[in-house]
Chains A and B, each alone.
Chain A
Amino acid sequence: MKFSIPTSKPWVFGASVSSKTTSAKLGLAALATLTVVCGVGLGYLFLTAQSTQAERLESDSFVIQFGNFNTGGGLRTSSSYNLTDTTGQTAAGAFTGLTQILGSGFQYIYTIDTFNFSISKLNIDLGSLAIGAHSTDSLVLTINTKGAGGYTVYAYELHPLRLADGLTTIADTTCDAGDCLFSIAKLWTNQSIPGFGFNAAGNSVSSDFISSSYFRPFADQSLSQAMQPVMQASDIATQEQATITYKAGILATQAAGEYQTGVVFVAVPGY
């Protein structure tokens, strides 16, 4: 039996295939050739890579030659910096170059913008807590900073939800699989799992809040746990918002009464 592909059609790199064996051989030959070509190419590359070198020059007298990129203008401060004299009064010609300001030592520099932080409401009401059902309430955090250093908003609780006796508590959530921590949010959708925690959604919230079903407990100040970032950015923030949703669930054995805590949000600008 003999079968062929018309030789006028150079299917494989210009070679015609006349039999199974020939085709396999040609395929292998082509493969080998390519491998060799690629090998040579890669070899050249690595040889070239060996010649790569970093030039580190640390000299007070080094003179820069920088093509057509202007270095003569020097680097100046951004308009968000200001300079004042030693008594704290704004100096004339405030937008002096940063090099000039700092070159002679910085006496008093401050950013001239304003850092703004708002919390939509100051009372969270989780309502009546029922067995086998989670209760929620939410607030909105808003940040405005014109400074390019960004910001961080941390959060912590004074203690877990507890009665006025200070002893009876609703424990902080450990989420569905018992694996969430005050620094890592995990899935918490099972209504029969009790606890107290929160979700963050919106601009620049921590990446562990994958969806609205991901929760973590607040860092507990009474246990000396370090407050944790819930929202942060490294650049200018204009009206950046995060919705913080509190959630609580109880056990069947939970004592009656109004459980309370205090949650603190700390907004700090970047430098």
Chain B
Amino acid sequence: MINRSFTTQIFCQSHRHWDYDFRIMSLLLSLSLTLGFFSLAPLAPVVAQFQLPSLTNQNQTDTTSRAELDLSLSPPVTYLSLKPGETKSLQLTLKNSGTRSLRVQLELAEFTSDGKTGRPVLKLQSTFPYLKAHEVGWSWGQSRLLKSGETAVIDFDLKLPETIILTEKHFTILARASQISDVNLTNLSSNQQLGGSSQVAGLIGSNLIVAIAADDTNLSKVKLTDWSIPKLVDSLRGISVTGLVKNFGAHSGPILGQATLTNSSGQLLKAWLFYPDMVLPESTREIRVIDVTSDPTADPQTWLNRPNPLLTNQLKYQPSWLFGTYTLKVRLYHLDYTEAQPVSAQTFYLTALPFSLMIGLLILPMSYWLILKTRELTTRVIKAKLPTTS
């Protein structure tokens, strides 16, 4: 009896202390889980955007020395509008700043849109017969020498027949440059050693967009098509929106537009100016914006004329806390209209609520309850394992 009573007493005393400590520990654990959740939740978008630094670059060669092939071509992009039967001139400037004299030949390729950016998707070779260089030496596929340090001005004529179909053509004029002398393969093939080598050639391009139209009217029709706008946003995560426009017209046209974000009391929180990227006919392009919140009343040209405008494809608003209803107004303008007449406008309503906070509040009691349950089960197991004395 004494033994049993003593054992029970010890167990109860130790259990009481253990129980009290355990409860404190449970609460601390629950709190840390909750706090951990809150501290990590706002980091989620940051973590999502985080990319591991490149592990490469180990073979970075010294680039301070001049390159063997170094070509500059201007203009990079040309937009031309012609009527059937009309002729227009075009001029390209090609400069060889490399250490080697190069054999250069011009090629004409066609390109299409990738549907998202302005990076052309090249289709080598074009059969378009109406664009020709003035000089025979610069005819398509004809090689000619471009010495190191030399600049060549190449003139083209674009002469359309009367019967040509009204459309828009997208070309890239490519200058293919390679070394003057090829390695003598016959001599090398007699080499009894096993070796490998590769010659390198470079092509540099200039894009040419040709609208063939009955008159000078631009027939672009750029409209808002697809927006990734969440209706509900988390108070701690901020607002992030991307948009796509489509040109339903027959000619390339720029994205001309603006967007604003206001809160429920109508206060302007953010203002963006769309960068006037060109959209090819029947293709889409992602909107890029300049954040003009710091001076939304300024003439848009002052923003666009800045040397390196900070462009982003996301309309972002990420304060430390969001709550309530927000209004995003997006407006696009058509070239033929006056500036006060948008071709399309859309208004989106976003609701911000503290989802992560609510989830966190759920985690706290749930984890506390789970820990208590675990403890209860552990106690039962310990009790069951204790030796019974009679």
* Contact mask for chain B residues 344-357; partner A; CB cutoff 8 A; 1 contact, 0 none: 11111111010000
Residues of chain B within 8 A (CB-CB) of A271 are: 77, 118, 120, 170, 207, 209, 278, 280
Residue contact B311 to A148, C-beta cutoff 8 Å: yes
Chain A residues within an 8 Å CB radius of B98? 118
Please report the number of residue pairs spanning A and B whose Cβ atoms sit closer than 8 angstroms.
462
B335 contacts A48, CB within 8 Å? no
A46-66 interface bits toward B, Cβ cutoff 8 Å, 1 = contact, 0 = none: 001101111111101111101
Contacts A12-B368, A259-B194 known; 6 new A-B pairs at CB < 8 A: A106-B211, A122-B199, A199-B56, A202-B54, A268-B122, A269-B205
* Interface 1/0 per residue, B1-21 and A, CB below 8 Å: 000000000001001100110
A152 proximal to B (CB < 8 A) = yes
Cross-interface CB contact of B205 among A57, A147, A267, cutoff 8 Å: A267
Q: By DSSP majority rule, is chain B's interface helix, strand, loop, or mixed?
A: mixed
Closest 4 CB pairs of A and B: A201-B56, A105-B216, A76-B301, A164-B189
Given contacts A170-B196, A262-B200, A271-B278, are A71 and B345 in contact (CB under 8 A)?
no
- A263 in complex: contacting residue of B185, B198, B209, CB < 8 Å: B198
Which A residues between 21 and 63 are near B, CB-CB below 8 angstroms? 23-24, 27-28, 30-31, 34-35, 37-38, 41, 45, 48-49, 51-58, 60-63
In the assembled complex, which residues on chain B have CB atoms less than 8 Å from the CB atom of A241?
60, 63
Task: Please state if A34 and B361 are interface contacts (CB–CB under 8 Å).
Answer: yes
Identify the closest chain A residue to B88 (Cβ).
A86
Q: Which residues of A contact B19 (CB under 8 A)?
A: 3
Interface size on B, residues (CB 8 A): 148
Nearest Cβ in chain A — how far from B384, in angstroms? 15
Q: With the chains together, A137 CA to B319 CA distance in Å?
A: 49
A36 to B232, CA, bound (A): 20
Hey, which chain B residues are within 8 Å of A76, CB to CB? 299-301, 304-305
Q: Provide the bound-state CA to CA distance between A118 and B300, in Å.
A: 35
Rounded to whole angstroms, the CA-CA distance of A212 and B54 in the bound complex is 9
Of the candidates A110, A114, A260, the one whose C-beta lies within 8 Å of that of B196 is: A260
**Contact B76 A99, beta carbon cutoff 8 Å:** no
For residue A8, CB closer than 8 A to chain B, the reply is no
The minimal Cβ–Cβ distance linking A20 to chain B, given in whole angstroms, is 6
Taking A45-B353, A55-B347, A258-B196 as contacts, is the C-beta distance between A209 and B342 under 8 angstroms?
A: no
A63 and B341 in contact, given A3-B20, A234-B119 (Cβ under 8 angstroms): yes
Given A71-B339, A124-B200, A232-B119, does the pair A102, B205 have CB atoms closer than 8 Å?
no
Is the CB–CB distance between A72 and B199 below 8 Å? Answer: no
B139 on interface, CB distance cutoff 8 Å: no
- The answer on a CB contact under 8 Å between A62 and B260 is no
Which of B37-45, B237-245, B325-333 contacts the other chain?
A: B325-333
Give 9 A-B contacts (CB < 8 Å), ordered by A residue: A24-B372, A69-B260, A98-B276, A105-B215, A106-B79, A117-B202, A120-B68, A236-B308, A256-B191
| Given the contacts A51-B349, A67-B262, A126 and B189 also touching, CB distance less than 8 Å | no
At the interface, yes or no: B188 with Cβ under 8 Å from chain A? yes
- Residues of A with C-beta under 8 A to B223: 58
**Which residues of chain A from 103 to 130 have any CB-CB distance to chain B below 8 Å in the complex?**
103-130
